[in-house]
A and B are shown apart, each in its own frame.
Chain A
Amino acid sequence: MDIISEIERERMNELLQAGKRIDGRGFDDLRPIKIVPNIVSKAEGSAEAWLGETRVITGMKVSIGQPFPDTPNEGVVVTSAELSPIGSPSFELGPPGEQAIELARVVDRGIRHSNFIQRTKLCIAEGTHVYLLFLDIYILADHGNLIDASHLSAVATLMTSQLPKVEVDEEGNATILEEFMPLEMEAPPIALTFAKINDSIVVDPISTEELVMSTRLSITIDGDDTICSMQKSGSGTLTRQEILDCVERACQIVKKARSVLPKR
């Protein structure tokens, strides 16, 4: 049942006024992050990410295909997310809904607009052969903040993935070889999501906080400390000052998050 009891709402407000959160964290504290890479041997890359109790797995499959006509020398990365019912009693079967689509798109944009993976590095033969990377995100347990957890597992998947080498002969036939190579990449981007509850703004909201938040702001910070994507959602509003404050806080928090990603 997605109705929060009035008692819990009041208690959370009281705590926030006193500068505390319902699970004892400070406003800028992330839950503990744990990454388990290479969990699926049939995938070219995979990783499980834990953000507190929120748990997400991502797997990557690779195929060879044609580039889009307007970007003949760039590979393609397709990100999708499945909110399967194994992750929460409120997820339902069926084609991806609004939430799953937004989730996949926010993760996708955070990676796309960063310097993390250069798409030109995914080109095999200009105009004819490029790598197609399919990143599929599955939520195993939703305890809040799916965006940051999904982003972490997607980034960790790319960081530990292996691409099959490909040979293209003169007639333009591609052969996938048995050899593998790691992806070339820069420092990874990190997504950080803030929730606004009354006048308080906290990072990495848990489910109960999400039920009472009016607005959510996700900010992706690239490896060079620039902002590479943002997404505001929810029916509330933010002031300019609040937005800038969140960005400032994100730049501080991101340092902690980076230290737990797998080393390359």
Chain B
Amino acid sequence: MTDSLEKEKLFDEKGLRLDGRRVDELRPLKLEIGTLSRADGSAYIEHGRNKILAAVYGPRELHPRHRAIADRALLRVTYRMGTFSVGERKRPAPSRREHEISMVIRQALEPMLFLEMYPRAAIDVFIQVVEADGGSRCASTTVASIALANAGIPMRSIVTGVAVGKADGQLVVDLSDLEDKIGDADVPVAMAYGRNEYTLLQMDGKLSKEELAKALEMVEGAIETIYEKQQQVLREGFIQIREEISESEEPSSDEGDVPDTEIDETDMESADGD
């Protein structure tokens, strides 16, 4: 956050941002689940130029055992940046920044997990930034949350992250690297959207009370968009298989009826279903 005299322009004459976005517009976003073959659950996100992988293991036996908690699982989150994810090569050892981000992401996810269902166990989330852009902690939270859902870890809600801030005098959502670096304020946020609960909130820079109120209103709109995409990607893979099958079976009937997609009675049963 510099307050230098020679401030760079972050808007063009039409009032659009340097990458052509409106103030409330998100960067391109791509989500994927089940990306990492050795993990119990995993996901991948491309948000702007961020490319981030998340792997979830567990609930599994906790080592060292003395760290076990008697009545709930221990959630461990590790955020790591690849050495080549940034302009200058990042040193391989974890930095203080990576340690802090690991902690805020953990605290963004933790309130939504039913950790009490797995006493003494561990749930591990590893986040690897392959390429970094502005808002990597928010994108990491978004991807980690769907990786947890992909691992089948029970949760109250998915968590969604995005940043809001002020650049060149205007409030903008989903800050780019440059807007983050030379803007006036950066407010990374994560929410359990359907529940109206914030689980991550940080701020660097200067905002008035009124600006903050407006910024949070704007950010919730952006979060809703990402939240929809998260839900969609969690359903997608399975729906796809269903469709493949109903397509290949379609002909056979003379009336040309769409076949009944109801699952037959030899169906999956919940163990305590009765």
Contacts of A143 in B (CB 8 A): 37-38
Q: B150: CB under 8 A from chain A?
A: no
Contacts of A57 in B (CB 8 A): 130
Give the distance in Å from the alpha carbon of A140 to the alpha carbon of B53 in the complex: 9
Q: Would you list 22 pairs from A and B whose C-beta atoms are within 8 A, ordered by A residue?
A: A40-B51, A42-B86, A42-B87, A59-B83, A59-B85, A59-B130, A61-B83, A61-B84, A61-B89, A63-B89, A80-B83, A84-B126, A86-B36, A86-B42, A86-B54, A86-B55, A87-B36, A88-B38, A89-B39, A93-B78, A136-B82, A136-B89
- The chain B residue with its CB closest to the CB of A62 is B89
Give the distance in Å from the alpha carbon of A107 to the alpha carbon of B87 in the complex: 25
Q: A39: CB under 8 A from chain B?
A: yes
Give the distance in Å from the alpha carbon of A82 to the alpha carbon of B37 in the complex: 17
- In this complex, how many residues of chain A approach chain B with their Cβ under 8 Å: the count is 30
Contacts of A53 in B (CB 8 A): 37
Give the distance in Å from the alpha carbon of A143 to the alpha carbon of B88 in the complex: 32
Q: A155: CB under 8 A from chain B?
A: no
A264 to chain B, nearest CB (A): 21
Binding site for B on A (CB under 8 A): 39-43, 46, 53, 55, 57, 59-61, 63, 80, 82, 84-89, 93, 95, 134, 136, 138, 140-143
Contacts of A82 in B (CB 8 A): 92
Encoded as 1 (CB less than 8 Å from any A CB) or 0, chain B from 33 to 56 comes to: 000111110100000010101110
Binding site for A on B (CB under 8 A): 36-40, 42, 49, 51, 53-55, 57, 60, 78, 80, 82-89, 92-93, 124, 126, 128, 130-132
Contacts of B80 in A (CB 8 A): 84
Q: Which 7 pairs show the lowest CB-CB distances between chains A and B? A: A59-B84, A61-B89, A43-B84, A86-B55, A136-B83, A141-B37, A85-B126
| Contact, CB under 8 Å: A80 / B92 | yes
Give the distance in Å from the alpha carbon of A59 to the alpha carbon of B51 in the complex: 13
Which of B37, B60, B78, B85 has the most chain A CB atoms closer than 10 A to its own CB? B37
- The chain B residue with its CB closest to the CB of A134 is B89
Contacts of A141 in B (CB 8 A): 36-38
> B131's contact among A42, A61, A85, by CB below 8 Å, is which?
A42
Contacts of B88 in A (CB 8 A): 61, 63
A222 to chain B, nearest CB (A): 26
* Given A42-B86, A46-B84, A88-B38, A138-B57 contact (CB < 8 Å): no
| Contact, CB under 8 Å: A40 / B130 | yes
Give the distance in Å from the alpha carbon of A60 to the alpha carbon of B85 in the complex: 10
| Contact, CB under 8 Å: A138 / B82 | yes
| Contact, CB under 8 Å: B84 / A40 | yes
* Given A61-B84, A136-B82, A141-B37, A85-B89 contact (CB < 8 Å): no
B111 to chain A, nearest CB (A): 24
Contacts of A40 in B (CB 8 A): 51, 82, 84-85, 130-131
| Contact, CB under 8 Å: B39 / A86 | yes
Q: A42-B85, A61-B84, A138-B130 are in contact. List 11 more A-B contacts (CB 8 A).
A: A55-B37, A59-B85, A59-B130, A61-B88, A84-B80, A85-B55, A85-B124, A86-B55, A89-B39, A136-B84, A142-B38
Contacts of A89 in B (CB 8 A): 38-40, 57, 60
| Contact, CB under 8 Å: B39 / A41 | no
Give the distance in Å from the alpha carbon of A89 to the alpha carbon of B42 in the complex: 12
B57 to chain A, nearest CB (A): 5
Contacts of A87 in B (CB 8 A): 36, 38
Give the distance in Å from the alpha carbon of A39 to the alpha carbon of B55 in the complex: 19
B92 to chain A, nearest CB (A): 6
Contacts of B42 in A (CB 8 A): 86
| Contact, CB under 8 Å: A86 / B128 | yes
